[in-house]
Amino acid sequence: MNPCVIPTASEDTVGDGRWMSMHNRFVQQAKTSEQEVVFIGDSIIQQLQFSSLWTEKISALHCINFGIGGDRVENVLWRIKNGEFDFNTPIKAVVLFVGTNNTDCTPHEIFEGILEIIKEIKNILGNVYIVIPTLLPRGQFPNPYRERNDHVNTFLIDKFSNEANKDELTENVYVVPIHENIVGNDQTISHHIMHDYLHLTNNGYTKIFGKVYDTLCQLLKVSRVK
């Protein structure tokens, strides 16, 4: 069976219990939060909250950050099914960004896992806006994981941006193509955008996640901060 669709708590391989500590904190924050937008995903979401894009622009949209470094699709699915989305106040939008850590899964498995998360979000929060930034390329030079993430993106764009595939699941789901214009003409990725060829620099966040911010502003009908 596809491992991405089986809700799975992250194994505490080290023994310091940090993943479960974070999950428990997010469950508590959901109960007491008065935020309107939830960001959930892996380390790329987690570190977004320390960027100037977050502090200067995104946070003004009343956003909360549930990113956990190393998270895989099935981990996010587990977290949502176990209380992190049990909010006491209405949520307007969710930004979901996960998949690059599923390096041992096929693109279609990752895609199916993301669909499963979307179903679960709609199940819990109703017909909120769901924003899916496309997976980013990784590695300084071409490698199989760039292609893998690109294939996931092809599935996502076909499902959610192709009118022919519209159904109940696609309603209010917006795929934002942030993966373009990152790889240079020579097929390399610059450390000025991705300092370790996976995670974004401060400027990288402004450039790449700026599109996510713009999408949120449009959906929430909020004026953008220039």
**Contacts with a copy of itself, residue ranges (CB under 8 A):** 14-18, 21-22, 25, 46-47, 49-51, 68-69, 103, 138-141, 143-146, 191, 195-199, 201-202
Print burial letters for 139-161: b (CB count within 10 Å at least 16), e (below 16). eeeeeebbebbebbbebbeebbe
Mark out the alpha helices in the chain (DSSP H runs): 18-32, 43-48, 52-56, 73-79, 107-125, 144-161, 202-208, 210-220
Q: How far apart are CA 204 and CA 12, in angstroms?
A: 31
Q: Closest approach of Cβ 138 to a copy of itself, in Å? A: 5
Comparison of 22 and 77: residue with beta carbon closer to a copy of itself: 22
Least CB distance to a copy of itself at residue 75 (A): 14
The DSSP secondary-structure symbol of 10 reads: P
Nearer to a copy of itself, 1 or 14 (CB): 14
CB of 223 to a copy of itself, least distance (A): 27
* Residues acting as catalytic residues: 43, 196, 199
Q: Which is nearer to a copy of itself, 15 or 164 (CB)?
A: 15
* Least distance in angstroms from the C-beta of 142 to a copy of itself: 10
Half-sphere exposure in the Cβ direction for 77 (13 Å, CA):
21
Structure tokens belonging to residue 177:
């193509």
The residue (of 68 and 135) whose beta carbon lies closer to a copy of itself is 68
